[in-house]
Amino acid sequence: MLSAPRSAPAPTIAPAPTIAPASRLRSLLPSLLVAAVALGYVGLDLWGDEIPSTVPGDVPPLVHAGLVLVQALALLAHRRRPLAVFGVVVAADLVVLATTAGQLGIGALAVILATYVVVVRTGGAARLLTVLAGAVATTVVGSTSMVYEPGASAAFVLSTTAARVVVLYVLPVVAAAYARDRERLRDALDAQERLAERQRQEDAERRVRHERAALARELHDIAGHHLSGIIVGAQAATALLTRDPERARAMLRTVQDDARITLGDLRQTVGLLRDDDGPDQPGQPSRVPTVAGIEHLAEAARERGQAVRLVVEGDPRTLGPLAEATAYRMVQESLANAARHAPGAACHVTLAWTDDSASVTVHNAAPRVAPPPSAAARPGYGLAGMAERADLVGGQLTSGPARDGGWTNQLTLATDGRGAS
């Protein structure tokens, strides 16, 4: 059974762009004003008796009004073809001047408007040459027409011609130049505002990236340290489960404590993203780690089975909060790395204080047993995070293998105020 052929869908035609009524009215306003001048002149001719006695020449007033209407019609295209419109408008005005001994100025308004449009909408030497040609033509035709009028003095001709050039050309050029400068200034301010807004967006994005990097470091330091301890403690408890159940239970309690501390630290880190979190609760770890907390790190590591020795040289002093947190996280990450990559190796933590610096060194000996394949093959971000923290507070971090086959991390912080912020 054959189905009826489907008709092709009718092509869609994009709607023509609409012009706002206000913009259309502004475009028609020059023509309307000039047309009003022509109609007013016709009205004076029909209902008044002043025109024949004041305007010399044999051309009827309706012809002059028709020339002004030609100017009004030409001004309809002032936005698209300003140079052509200027030529038509000036030519019509020259005819009016030539047929009235240079005394009838009903075409002056159109010339003023056309001159303004030429300066605003054209550029380069074309606009200057066009306006200059119009001024010269008006000067020649107007002055010549007045010279042949009986009783016209040279002073009257010169003053009238100069005034006509100033009103028809000089003043519109000055006004148009001022308008162009204002438009350029507005465009420059708009461009500056757009640039400032783009800069603000880039700064905001940069701050977000920095905050994300800082949170990533915090999460890595917290989770990496405690989870490494939990893994080591769980492995030790498993090994002691059959030989020494009591010690295995003690190790499992340590694992539980580490898990609770990890959960608390993670909650506090996540709390940095919330606005409704209150102050630290009693019994919870501090939001900002300190150098004094390094002793607790060493003690917790020993409880997990790591051989950690802490040595303090010199008189300890208080650093800035960022420097304190940097030193704490460096030791935390170093101990976690030692537990992960050098299981069973002894660790030596040294805090050395001098008059102008504080040095934190964590050294682990060569591993007694090979690290698990997963730990050896998985790249980490601990060293990168430590280096970023050191750069943030103006410190210096050196990391690398030691002569005994182990690994050494050393952080040096200034205590004269440069790294204590």
Residue 278 in this model has a pLDDT that exceeds 90 = no
Amino acid 54: pLDDT: 52
- Same domain flag for 183 and 222: no
- Same domain flag for 57 and 185: yes
- Same domain flag for 173 and 305: no
CA angle 232, 238, 242 (to 5 degrees): 145
398 falls within a domain: yes
169 falls within a domain: yes
pLDDT band at 284 (very low <50, low <70, confident <90, very high): very low
199 falls within a domain: no
Which among 139, 158, 189 is the end of a domain? 189
9 falls within a domain: no
Confirm if 414 and 394 have CB atoms less than 8 A apart: yes
* 213-271 pLDDT tens trace: 766 666 666 666 667 677 777 877 787 778 888 877 777 877 777 777 666 666 666 65
Which among 189, 218, 251 is the end of a domain? 189
- Same domain flag for 168 and 83: yes
280 falls within a domain: no
Residue 121 in this model has a pLDDT that exceeds 90 = no
- Same domain flag for 212 and 168: no
- Same domain flag for 179 and 211: no
18 falls within a domain: no
Domain harbouring 378, CATH code: 3.30.565.10
* 327-369 pLDDT tens trace: 988 998 898 888 888 888 899 999 999 988 899 999 998 887 7
- Same domain flag for 86 and 219: no
Between 414 and 152, the more confident residue is: 414
Which among 189, 217, 244 is the end of a domain? 189
pLDDT band at 137 (very low <50, low <70, confident <90, very high): very high
Residue 309 in this model has a pLDDT that exceeds 90 = yes
- Same domain flag for 115 and 217: no
Supply the mean pLDDT for the chain: 79
Amino acid 222: pLDDT: 63
Torsional sign, CA 87, 88, 89, 93:
positive
The mean pLDDT of 120-145, rounded to a whole number, is 87
- Same domain flag for 142 and 236: no
Amino acid 125: pLDDT: 80
Amino acid 379: pLDDT: 46
The mean pLDDT of 121-134, rounded to a whole number, is 85
- Same domain flag for 150 and 232: no
* 374-421 pLDDT tens trace: 544 444 557 777 888 888 788 899 999 988 889 999 999 987 644 444
* 156-205 pLDDT tens trace: 888 888 998 999 999 999 998 888 888 888 989 999 999 988 888 888 88
244 falls within a domain: yes
Percent of the chain residues topping a pLDDT of 70: 76
- Same domain flag for 60 and 172: yes
Which domain does 79 fall in, by range?
25-189
- Same domain flag for 177 and 261: no
350 falls within a domain: yes
In total, how many domains does the chain have? 2
